[in-house]
Structure 1
Amino acid sequence: MTRIPLIRPYISYSDVESDFKDIFESGWFTKGKFVSEFKHQIAEYTSSKYACTTTSATTALYACLRVLNIGVGDEVIVSDLSFPATANVVEEVGAVPIFADVSLDTFNMLPEELETKINSKTKAVIFVDAFGNLSGIDKIKSICRSHSIPLIEDAACAIGSSLDDIKSGNISDLTCFSFHPRKLLTCGEGGAITTNNTEYAQRIEVLLNHGAQVIDGKFDFIEAGYNFRMTEMQAAMGISQLKRLDAIVESRNTTKQEYSKLLEPLEFTPQRSDINTIHNVQSLVYRVPEGVSRDKLIHKLAEHNIETTLGTYCLSGLTYYAKKYGNINPNAQKLQNTTITLPCFEGVDVDRVIKTITKIL
């Protein structure tokens, strides 16, 4: 029986063959015309002033914390439902991640949770667009503004999503994207930062390039920076997909509607999006019915050659953070234990997936 994966990348070799040939013949593998063009196109697509490409969303988040001069003694409030990288970068700069619980409907940070955790040590908020969903970020942004706290958007999953017709990338002070293979736009690996702040953008470019800056026509190294640069081949891959990203988002929403119609009688609960958002459905995630073991369901589906996985992690409940800080958030923990990610890509056999789930239940 043919295996059904979680996702198939929306790119083929033929899409980039001529660009790869150009790159190999030029011998210019980094800091070239494709990276420059990709940055331009990301900024244009998101309507942001600046876009900087990186090696991953993780290095993008780390660079944002460095730009904000966050370090030892500082606190950063973080959405508690995410991949560990969101909190790991806070630890890496020496600050303390403060985990804010999330909504059981949207899976995103609760505004009332944020309000109760802000204090004099709070230097930034990292809002995670859970599985690409921007719902509630407007309320979080308003709270951050009222306290003069920078808002970093972990938009690792959210390229193509929008709020009130404003694309992710042009909402927060700093936005970080991922181009991992499971994302709608993949460069194999890679990431990007968008911002409308000139000072942030200039310093980010310095940090991503070993701390180097051209002064009076000469290179000088003005900070302890990093090599967080994207390659030309990665950028070429990104360019080839960005032009059809909106069509990909529309297609994935159609697939979600098909799934939801068939899963509703089985009492699976979909992730909810606010009416003013367009959700790119980066991952198709449902809460399983009461009394159903999510882990057993994943195992049984694997026996039928259907790949599924958990939604994502309750950060405060991970061994490292639970031992260090305690205070596990109940909603995030519940979502970690009861959500399942189903296959979603162009041409996925939804009928086979649903029939298999029905049989297992």
Structure 2
Amino acid sequence: MKDRIKLIKPYISFDEVASELEEIFDSGQLTKGQHVAKFVKSLTNYTGGLYAVPMTSATTALTMCLKALGIKKGDKVAISDFSFPATANVVEDVEATPIFIDVDQDTYNMSVDDLRSKLDDKVKAVIFVDALGSPSGIDKIKAVCEEFSIPLIEDAACAIGSSVNGVKVGNIADLTCFSFHPRKLLTTGEGGAILTNNPEYATWLDMKANHGASGLRGKVFDFIDFGYNYRMSEIQALMGWKQIAKLDGITERRNLIADQYAEALEPLGMKRQKIAQGVYHNIQSLIFTVPETVKRDDLIDYLAEHNIESTLGTYCLSGTTFYTNKYNSVQATAHWLENHTITLPCYDGVDVQTVTDVISGFFA
């Protein structure tokens, strides 16, 4: 095999942005220009959400959502336990306490029963993670949040393009956070955004992300609060809106690739992530659980030897060294999934036959 088969390749090329990129440099306006406005509009049009606030990352987006809700020291935030550490880190950052909610072994998403069992009057927010892009089960979690009047934040870092019963992610939770990291289906290099239908949240978030500025006082900007520089650049925004129009086509093709993998690998005992009825999954990451008899890390090493990139599904947050030492509350299913899931290459042009042949050789 000559070329390494990577996990993912970006769905954007230089030629797609070349002419507008030259205009940006010629204008000298590298931030807060027409392309940021265009990207904001394209996000709201695509998701159906009323307001979009660009951010520097999904991590800063999540942090700002917690701040918008007034989460503080002494509060608790219930979080999905199978996720990237940023989901828990942002709770620590505002000095609140993360409550680790175990997940369903098939969908990898927050267990509604475990959430109910851990709710008390100190839980001031819930962060539901769309595991690997799938919002399966968010409708049930949303119902619980509404029952107890708890705000719902959707960590949709991986989920742009996914939907529930025809409603796009970005128009479901009280606050939704996207990531545009290079491993995401829509990338701006780095970057993120918050989607909300609440005008008060949107106004506050936009102000805080722009140093606390709000309009003019005479001929100068007025700063009505302290704030941050969490703005997205014109170059990032240009990359973003160029990809929105083709996003549905990308997800459709990724689903076809995922089906090809499943046809070859399920007879070997590998089990694909389950998607709930009515849910459309963008296949941000293509995840399988391996049989109990297989050591997942050995399979990753075997694929690497054959020039194929793979990795674990994602992390059991409560099982990381920091959170185990601090809270000693490791969740069983999330811990099992961390050790039994594998992410496989999925993108236009990936050589599915080669990858599945190599995996079949491992099982032989």
The two structures have a TM-score, normalised by structure 1, of 0.99
| 2:84 corresponds to | 83
> CA offsets per residue over residues 68-105 of structure 1, 9 Å max, x none?
11010000000000000011000000100000000000
Partner of 1:100 in structure 2?
101
Shift of 1:222: 2.3
Whole-angstrom distance in 2 between the partners of 1:78 and 1:90: 9
Deviations 1:288-311 (A, max 9, x none): 112111111101111111000000
Aligned to 1:253: 255
Matches of residues 176-195 of structure 1 in structure 2 within 5 Å? 176-195=177-196
**Whole-angstrom distance in 2 between the partners of 1:148 and 1:126:** 14
Partner of 1:118: 119
Q: Match of 2:169?
A: 168
Deviations 1:180-203 (A, max 9, x none): 000000001100000000000000
How far apart are residue 153 of structure 1 and its match? 0.1
Residue in 2 that maps onto 1:155: 156
Separation in 2, partners of 1:193, 1:171:
12
Q: In the alignment, what sits opposite 1:50?
A: 51
Displacement, 1:219?
A: 2.0
Please state if 1:301 is matched with 2:303: yes
Alignment partner, residue 354 of structure 2: 352
| Identical columns (%) | 57
Gaps in structure 1 of 5+ consecutive residues: none
Output the amino acid matched with 1:303.
Answer: E
Instruction: Give the secondary structure class of the aligned counterpart of 1:98.
Output: strand
Provide the residue aligned with 1:62 in structure 2.
63
- Structure 1, 45-54 or 210-219: larger mean CA deviation: 210-219
Residue from 289, 292, 300 that aligns with 2:291: 289
> What is the Cα deviation at residue 221 of structure 1?
2.1
Distance 1:70 1:272 in 2: 33
The CA distance in 2 between the partners of 1:310 and 1:222, in whole Å, is 45
For 1:298-338, what per-residue CA distance to the aligned partner results, in whole angstroms no more than 9, with x for missing partners? 01111111000000000000000000001100000000000
Give the deviation of 1:229 after TM superposition: 0.5
Q: 1:333 aligns with which of 327, 332, 335?
A: 335
Q: CA deviation at 1:216?
A: 4.4
**Rounded Cα–Cα distance in structure 2 between residues aligned with 1:137 and 1:163:** 8
Amino acid corresponding to residue 323 of structure 2 in structure 1: Y
Among 214, 219, 222, the alignment partner of 1:220 is 222
Secondary structure, counterpart of 1:11 in structure 2: coil
Where does the alignment leave 5 or more consecutive residues of structure 2 unmatched?
none
1:331 alignment partner AA = T
Tell me the amino acid that sits aligned with residue 347 of structure 1: G
SS at match of 2:161: coil
Q: Please give the root-mean-square deviation of Cα atoms over the aligned residues, in Å.
A: 0.8
Aligned mates of 2:228, 2:49 — CA distance in 1 = 24
